[in-house]
Chain A
């Protein structure tokens, strides 16, 4: 403490020896050691010796409140390299994304999916003997592709639902879809409970369900309400107004407003759900989205020349509807939402909220019944009545 270099008073070095003393005893002529300057900030050192203004928060075992800021450290630890390590790893492993499209025949579901991913990924494009006829029952078909962009690989699975809403009597046409969604949760749960689990559990859960509303301009139809009410509880629904080139801008705005009212009146929660906003930043962003859904979209795979540029569009006698022009339709907004900004969030909501809810229910059921956990029957396709009830 008596040493002129004052190193001893610096909190960091209180317990360490003062090098100065040693050197003086030995007769070496060394200059007094000075606290190492932190790389980030420039501090003007007037004297050789600097008193520390902000004593380092030294923590005892139970005190976990102090946060040591980067600028208080003498030097640089380099922890943000962890982000790079993580990024490397996720890039190598690739991503999975499962999107379901639901809506009546002819609403442009396949075309829209192809337009979104700029490749022929829909079932329609991939089935060799595809015939455009209405199927007698609702069945689900999924098609997977691996697409790559700028070094990022994505395994995209599109689940189509032909037959939905196409029959004369459409009662319970949502049941096969509910069953499918729950089956994927069940598969994941089984794998997660396994004794020897895979490092990366294959994820077939539906991350997003795009529901196609016909551009009637009026209100939601009963089938829309029924479907979204049930599915909204187990999967993230993104409703879109399909074939929106039959609505003028005013009609579109009014239609959207009515739909939003309808959704609220029926207690239907669509993505992004308000209660899952993590923080203020998310809330602001998502509020803006919520004010504008459902997006009015037009899809196409044909290109035309407009002002010397090649654009995706639909050519009519009265003009060309440019799909990616936000003044014409909201396809670009839908694409940004689904892919460019909220894709990871869709997956997170599915995993952290919908899947967890399913898991809790299943585990409680199995214990309450005292029965062996009888998985939803995957083979013969019949849905147990009690499960159907409990998923409402």
Chain B
């Protein structure tokens, strides 16, 4: 009767009695994941006008910035760096992805950009902290994971490599989030210029000790084709990208592109730019790894650091009711507020405190 209930996907291979049948495990896990769906949070950072919004739309085939109003120079004088979030649910072939795009308007736009990355690092830390609280709490049923899994950093193509603000930004974030630097608006560069710029940027990244996201090594037992693709991918970084919201006719086909008097730039043409490589890497081959590195490395670092700070503070104070040294929570958006109402807010803080005390006493 188990077979009758559409479980042929699990048992059909195993009519052969010699199998125990646990090779269906990946299918069992697969089925659960499809039901649950995935989530992914992507941050885009870089000065205004580098094509961030267009690229995001091109990557996920959405139009998240439909009603955006672009500020003029005067309005921008007093603008500070904001953090904005857009969430969209995408479904393809039965697989659901909840995609969150975190944008950073105002970054690098002011005259004095000292520490303009501070709101961004604070945001990332706040998400870690929220997750830490939730994970350490007593009710862990529906934890929302808002941690930033990847940050696309847009480098302008106009200069000669990394500028001071680029270096400082990446150094402030490289131990908190997976950074993928991109050369934006690459349609203003010739192939030679692109190559020179990439080499220069790669050099400077190494020289300044910036830890950008590293692709994991290929297994020795992978197919040759895969290994070759992987090698090409690694040699191509930082990716030089072009995005577009328009559709043009090129070589008899309708494609996403940019129409110039001197020719048509096709976004998805690999000889024109690295957009396809970026998309494949980000979505089709490395999305899971980006999440894993965020959870296993960046988040764990944050957590360890947090615990050590708290334990030393508690040891110093030696009072059982000392307030916990925590970052101020961000102004909750609609969704977070709803969740906070669902959980008792006071209960949350107490749960967390219980766990921290437990930790202290364990060690």
Contacts and interface: CB of A to CB of B under 8 A. Distances in A.
The yes or no verdict on A and B being binding partners is: yes
Interface residues of B, number: 91
A342 B287 CA distance: 28
A376 interface: no
A360 B65 CA distance: 44
Contacts, number: 258
Contacts of B97: 79, 82
Contacts of B249: 30-31, 33-34
B287 to A, nearest CB: 5
B354 interface: yes
A147 B92 CA distance: 35
A81 B358 contact: no
B92 A70 contact: yes
Interface in A285-338: 285, 288-289, 292, 324, 333, 335-337
A360 B354 CA distance: 10
A59 B88 contact: yes
Interface in B183-226: 219
Nearest to A368: B354
B358 A366 contact: yes
B78 to A, nearest CB: 22
Contact of B248 (A33, A58, A75, A344): A33
Contacts of B38: 79, 82
A341 B358 contact: no
B30 interface: yes
B66 A14 contact: yes
Given A33-B249, A117-B20, A373-B358, A82 B26 contact: no
A123 B339 CA distance: 49
B5 A288 contact: yes
B362 to A, nearest CB: 6
Given A59-B87, A190-B362, A87 B26 contact: yes
B92 A59 contact: no
A72 B259 CA distance: 25
A59 B90 CA distance: 12
Contacts of B85: 61
A279 B140 contact: no
Interface in B140-175: 140-141
Contacts of B87: 59, 64
A60 B67 contact: yes
A118 B358 contact: no
Nearest to B353: A367
B59 to A, nearest CB: 8
Given A79-B97, A340-B21, A56 B2 contact: no
B66 A68 contact: no
A16 B174 CA distance: 34
A74 B140 contact: no
A343 B246 contact: no
A89 B26 CA distance: 10
Contacts of B285: 81, 85
A16 B246 contact: yes
Interface residues of A, number: 97
Given A16-B246, A340-B10, A373 B362 contact: yes
A105 to B, nearest CB: 26
A37 interface: yes
Contact of A58 (B10, B66, B359): B66
A253 interface: no
A125 B292 CA distance: 40
Contact of A152 (B25, B86, B362): B25
Nearest to A19: B259
B67 A58 contact: yes
A363 B23 CA distance: 37
Given A16-B245, A62-B334, A149-B19, A83 B33 contact: yes
Interface string B82-102: 001111111111111100000
Residue among B21, B68, B93, B261 having the largest count of chain A Cβ atoms under 10 Å: B21
Contact of A77 (B2, B283, B289): B283
Interface stretch (A126-134, A192-200, A209-217, A224-232): A192-200
Interface centre among A35, A36, A62, A77 (most CB of B within 10 A): A77
B2 A333 contact: yes
Given A61-B333, A193-B362, A80 B93 contact: yes
A152 B28 CA distance: 13
A344 B22 CA distance: 10
Contact of B95 (A56, A62, A79): A79
Contacts of B22: 95, 97, 147, 149, 152, 154, 339-340, 343
Contacts of A340: 2, 7, 10-11, 14, 21-22, 24
A364 B347 CA distance: 12
B17 interface: yes
A356 B140 contact: yes
B229 to A, nearest CB: 13
Nearest to A200: B296
A188 to B, nearest CB: 14
A78 B208 CA distance: 35
B115 interface: no
A85 B1 CA distance: 32
B256 interface: yes
Per CB-CB distance, the 5 closest pairs between chain A and chain B, nearest first, are: A85-B288, A150-B23, A70-B92, A344-B28, A81-B284
Given A19-B259, A67-B96, A372-B361, 15 more contacts: A22-B259, A33-B248, A76-B92, A77-B279, A79-B90, A149-B22, A152-B25, A193-B355, A193-B359, A195-B363, A288-B1, A336-B21, A340-B11, A343-B24, A363-B351
30 contacts: A36-B247, A58-B64, A59-B86, A62-B335, A64-B335, A69-B91, A73-B62, A75-B61, A77-B92, A78-B92, A79-B283, A82-B38, A82-B97, A83-B30, A83-B34, A117-B20, A149-B23, A150-B19, A152-B23, A285-B5, A292-B1, A340-B2, A340-B7, A341-B10, A343-B24, A348-B32, A359-B138, A363-B351, A364-B354, A372-B361
Interface of A: 7, 11-17, 19, 22-23, 26, 28, 30-31, 33-37, 56, 58-62, 64, 66-70, 73-83, 85-87, 89-92, 95, 97, 116-118, 147, 149-152, 154, 190, 193, 195-197, 199, 278-279, 284-285, 288-289, 292, 324, 333, 335-337, 339-345, 348, 352, 356, 359-360, 363-364, 366-367, 372-373
